[in-house]
Structure formats: C-alpha cells, structure tokens
Amino acid sequence: MPNNKFYGLFTIFLFLLPVFLGFDDYYLYLLNMAFLFAFLALSWSILGYAGQISFGHAAFFGLGAYTSALLSLKAGISPWIALFFGGVMAMLFSSVIGLTCFRLKGPYFSLATLAFVEIPRIITLNSEFTNGPLGLIGIPSFSSITISTITIDFYASRTGTYYVLMILLLVLTIFTHRMMKSRLGFAFSAIREGEETAEVLGVNAFKYKLLALLISAFFTGVCGALYAHIIHYIEPEIVYGLSFSAIPLVMSMFGGMLTVIGPVLGATILYLTNELIFHPISTTAHELMYGLAIVIVILFMPRGIVGWLEERKRIVYDT
C-alpha cells in the first residue's frame, strides 16, 4: 500500500477539492454522502476485524439518528452535543446485544443481529414521542461556528459540512489505524483467526468482542446522527431499513474487509458509481447494484479491491 507521504498529499488534495469543484452544490452533496457512507462502512468494519459479521447496524444508525434529532428538536440541545449522545445511545443498545448474543458463534450471531433491528424499529414506529411512522421533519442543522470574522454556516452552504465530515472521517481512519496496531487490534485479529486458539493464549474473547461491538456501535450512532442533521428528515422505515444494515457490509467487503483503507475506498467507489451511473437509470431500484457487488466480491474477490490490488502487485514483483 502507498506510504505516509502519499496519504499526507491526498489529505491536502481533499482540503482543496471544493475549490477545484468551484463549490458546486451537487458535487459537494455527492462527496458529503460518500464521506458519510465511508464513515459508516469503517464503523461497521471495526466489529468485522473481530470476526463478527453484523446484519443489524441499521439499529445503531437509526438509534443515533433518532436520539440526536429528538434531543435537538425537543430539548433544544445543540446538534454538536446531541451527536455524541446519539453515539452513546447506540452503544447502550449494542451492549444489550453483546451481553446476550456473544455466546452465539459465526452465522448464528449474524442472524441474531438481523432480529435485533426490529426492536428499536417497532418501538419507534409505535411511539407518539417519536412521531410514529411519519418520522421527524425539520431537524436543525449544525449550529454555525464563528471564528473571529469568519462565520461557517451549515444550513445555507454545503462547504462547511464537507470539511466537518472530511475531518471526522480522517479522525476515525487514524483512530482505527492506530487501534489495529495496538494490543486491542491484535486481540481482534487473534479472535477472528481462531476464537478457541485466542482463548488458549489468554485473550478474553468475550471482552474484546464486546469492546469491538461497543466502539463500532458508537461510531455508527454518530454517523446516524450526522445523517439526521444533514438530511433534516428521518423516518423509521428508512433509518432502520435493510439498506443501512446491508450497505456498510457491502462497501466494507467490496473494498477489503480486513484493512482500514478498504472500507473507505469501497464506500467511495460504490457510492459514487451508484449515484452517477445507476441512479439516473432507475431512481427506485438503484440499490440492486449493491446486491450485485457483494455477489461478485464473495465469488471472485474474497479480499476485496485492496486484496486484489495487493495480489496484482505481488505478481508484478514475482515475475
């Protein structure tokens, strides 16, 4: 993979990108959503590193979105702070899943996560407080920031949101990278490669799987909250929908599940291809591409794009 210098230059490029695009609203929207999905995919992968496949991240996403939206709408809390509580709420719910379901192995854990999404979804649908199936509208944007004479407004322009999302994604990427190089990351890999072996070596599998789930759920909740304040509108069938469980899985696997850069790359490529090529063809059913992508990955590129690139490089070196 490219070295640190490359990533540094790429970050500078991302900082300047809105200028190159002439602050065009549509392109900024596309990039913002791509960053959001990259954030989601990376959050999902944190659990993936510990070998656990979740089909239920929509639960965390929706809980984060609803918590943050309700706090800012009904209690008047600033979205910047509400965001954090969105993550905490998702983390609390994930601890319920973890404590009850981590004795299930492999596919059985995945099936349980599929069922767990229904709990917050049905409660939200039937609660007066959350406005039931109609959802919440008019969720406030992030409050504007004033630094000396410059005021960054998050409602009128998308440029501010672009930088916030970019920086958050950068922070999460660096955090994840550091984590994978730490004791925690090695524990996750050990559990993934063989839970029994890891246990024998003294790794408390339950504890580390729970940690992976909590971290993953927290960031997914934050991501849901970001979505709520950027889109301004949420409803249960969307934020708890199958899409938000499936899309991070598809994007991470497509990019390369066991790497840090893979999910980010997969999310960006898939989202942009989907929006620019498939969305114009069919506005209702463009998500079928995500279904196709996962089939292709499982059958032909089990290690995703990153794995495929590495293999190609090896072939070049070998010959």
Chain contacts with another protein (rule: CB under 8 A): 53, 55, 100-101, 103-108, 110-112, 114-116, 118-119, 122-123, 125-126, 242, 246, 249-250, 253, 282, 284-288, 290-295, 298-299, 302
Closest to another protein by CB, 5 vs 103, is: 103
Whether the CB-CB separation of 169 and 178 falls below 8 Å is answered with no
What residues does 145 pair with on adjacent strands? 152
* Assigned token pair, 293: 């992508």
Q: Smallest gap, in angstroms, from Cβ of residue 55 to another protein? A: 6
Q: Smallest gap, in angstroms, from Cβ of residue 12 to another protein? A: 36
Closest to another protein by CB, 156 vs 299, is: 299
Rounded Cα distance between 103 and 105, Å, is 6
What residues does 152 pair with on adjacent strands? 145
Closest to another protein by CB, 98 vs 140, is: 98
What φ, ψ does residue 262 adopt, rounded to 5°?
-55, -55
Q: Smallest gap, in angstroms, from Cβ of residue 317 to another protein? A: 25
Q: Smallest gap, in angstroms, from Cβ of residue 34 to another protein? A: 20
Residue 76 DSSP one-character state? -
Q: Smallest gap, in angstroms, from Cβ of residue 71 to another protein? A: 24
CA distances from 87 to 93, 129, 272 (A): 10, 20, 26
Q: Which residue has the tokens 């990259």?
A: 38
Closest to another protein by CB, 81 vs 288, is: 288
Q: Which residues, 6+ apart, have CB-to-CB distance to 297 below 8 Å?
A: 250, 253, 254, 304
Closest to another protein by CB, 95 vs 157, is: 95
